[in-house]
Amino acid sequence: MITAIEDVAEPLSAHDPVAGVDDHFPLEPSHPCYMLMRLAEEAMAQRQYERAYEMFTAAARADAGSGRFTRKINRAMRAVVPRWHFRMMHDAERSRAYAQAIEQVVGPGQLVLDIGSGAGLLSMLAARAGADQVVACEAVGMVASGAREVVKANGYSDRITVVSSPSTDLRVGSELPRKADVLVTEIFDCALLGEFALPALRHARQELLSPEAVVLPRSGGLFAQLVESPELRSMNHIGEIEGFDFSPFTSLASLEYFSTNLGNYQHRVLTPPVELFRFDFGADTQPEQQIVEVVPQESGKAHAVVMWFELDLVPGITLTNNPETSGLHWKQAVQTFREPRECRSGEPLGLRATHDMESVLVNLC
Ligand SMILES: C[S@@+](CC[C@H](N)C(=O)[O-])C[C@H]1O[C@@H](n2cnc3c(N)ncnc32)[C@H](O)[C@@H]1O
């Protein structure tokens, strides 16, 4: 009977997602994989999804590659690997912009660091642009394994090393042979900071990059405008339903922004866009507060503030999830206000915007 993954000699690698599913019959306690399956199910129940994935995969191997565990393996994998990877990879504008920017700054003789490799796109763009060596790091082990397979399939394994680790665990002289000449990264959510880009970049500048290293993207701006939209407010607020008062449930509403497509909701724009923050990714950033004045161009009730970024990869190459023009996979960042505010056309009001390096919060002054 197999009771642990260590009992299975073969090393673990990504399972074949197209293997047949054959899990109609419950596993009998006498089956050699029974204990391993029970342990894996326990790991799932305890939300230890990577461990569950490893154990289900080991059970499948021990079960002579039967499809009995395919569905369970896939369920564990899905809990670890976000589905947006697929949508993001099809964002052709994003890929093209990074490809052109990387062509401009990467060349022979360079060591490139890719923070947050995902499937390995930026690393392969850097290798294709002529980099001598690329070290890619990816915090999610299964994604790193997937990237390794992609790099191999494309013939770049001799120049790209995928390290399964958060960038903050990398060490020069260990995973990185020396300090890198170029940093390429795309660890930005719809409001830039939500994937902890600033702490990762600060660590990289302090520990992993040569003093004259090029950082790509070089900077980013965060923009905002106020909108009237009862529909958007209802995404984060509950009042009366079927004669019941649900307003106490609103204490569980999101204080900070959530990601959604502004265009999917009826709304009226009340103010022109203003820049809240600009981040120079090559320099140190501290938590900040800004008070930015806006002058409504329309009277109405401000239910929410909508935010988006402009990411300057290199001079002349910019990506934006601006609601007016964006065809990118990123949606907008929407923060609803606890109390909507009446605005009058032409009467200025202040937006107090703060960021703590990880997220942005806007209040009306
Ligand atoms: C938005 S995806 C982009 C993937 C890839 N760079 C691309 O452009 O297609 C970001 C990836 O970075 C990883 N990640 C985020 N911060 C990281 C960090 N500090 N170190 C390593 N991986 C990180 C996430 O797990 C995720 O897979």
To the nearest whole number, what is the mean pLDDT of the chain?
Answer: 92
pLDDT above 70 (res 362)? yes
For the Cβ of 43 lying below 6 angstroms from any atom of ligand 1, the answer is: no
Tell me the one-letter amino acid at 67.
G
Closest ligand 1 atom, CA of 167? 20
Q: Whose CA is nearest to atom 14 of ligand 1?
A: 116
For the Cβ of 217 lying below 6 angstroms from any atom of ligand 1, the answer is: no
Q: What is the pLDDT of residues 229-286, one digit of tens each?
A: 999 999 999 999 999 999 999 999 999 999 999 999 999 999 999 999 999 999 999 9
pLDDT above 50 (res 17)? no
Q: What is the pLDDT of residues 203-229, one digit of tens each?
A: 999 999 999 999 999 999 999 999 999
For the Cβ of 194 lying below 6 angstroms from any atom of ligand 1, the answer is: no
**pTM reported for the whole predicted model:** 0.91
Q: What is the pLDDT of residue 8?
A: 42
Q: What is the pLDDT of residue 15?
A: 46
Give the 3-state DSSP-derived string for 111-156, with helices as H, strands as E and coil as C. EEEEECCCCCHHHHHHHHCCCCEEEEEECCHHHHHHHHHHHHHCCC
Q: What is the pLDDT of residues 73-88, one digit of tens each?
A: 999 999 999 999 999 9
Banded pLDDT at 20 (limits 50, 70, 90):
low
Banded pLDDT at 133 (limits 50, 70, 90):
very high
Which has more confidence, 324 or 133?
A: 133
Q: What is the pLDDT of residues 332-346, one digit of tens each?
A: 999 999 999 999 999
Q: What is the pLDDT of residue 21?
A: 67
257: closest CA among 357, 363, 334, 355?
A: 334
For the Cβ of 195 lying below 6 angstroms from any atom of ligand 1, the answer is: yes
Q: What is the pLDDT of residue 257?
A: 97
Partners of residue 312 on adjacent β-strands: 219, 318
Q: What is the pLDDT of residue 7?
A: 44
Q: What is the pLDDT of residues 27-75, one digit of tens each?
A: 888 888 889 999 999 999 999 999 999 999 999 888 876 788 899 999 9
Q: 10 Å Cβ neighbour count for 261? A: 13
- The answer for residues whose C-beta is within 8 angstroms of residue 313's C-beta and 6 or more apart is 97, 98, 101, 216, 217, 218, 319
Read off φ and ψ for residue 141, nearest 5 degrees. -55, -45
Q: Ligand 1 test: best mutation among 83, 124, 187, most atoms within 8 Å of CB? A: 187
For the Cβ of 137 lying below 6 angstroms from any atom of ligand 1, the answer is: yes
